[in-house]
Amino acid sequence: PPAIMEAKKLFEWGNVRLVPVLHNRLEFALEVRDQFSSFKPEIVAIEYPPTIGKKVLEGIKRLPLLSVVYYEEDDHTFIYLPLEPTDGQVEAARLALSKNLPIHFI
């Protein structure tokens, strides 16, 4: 409906479009997909530490099988990141991989 489309605000600056994401929420993964098809990006940036980028991409390539990537913080605490298809960041990376687009971890 037009009223819904009018209410939707886009975060754009020049040729950059930001898509806010709440992790592991299907609604945001669907929004990423919609934005991806309407904007047609040349590059995708996702919020994962660059140090685990390779492992994240390996896990995403295994979908629909689920993966968990972990890393150790400076205080020796382990952080576990489930890579689920319902996560907007995972969907952004999956779509970028499917189109052979560069992915940057920020």
Give tens-digit pLDDT for 41-52. Answer: 999 999 999 999
pLDDT of residue 8: 63
Domain that holds residue 68: 2-105
Whose structure tokens read 């993966």? 67
The structure tokens listed for 59 are: 């896990």
Q: What share of the chain is helix, strand, coil (3-state, %, to 5)?
A: 40, 25, 35
Residue type, 53: G
Least confident of 12-26, 30-44, 53-67: 12-26
Give the count of domains, the chain: 1
Least confident of 5-9, 42-46, 51-55: 5-9
Which whole number is the average pLDDT over 17-44? 92
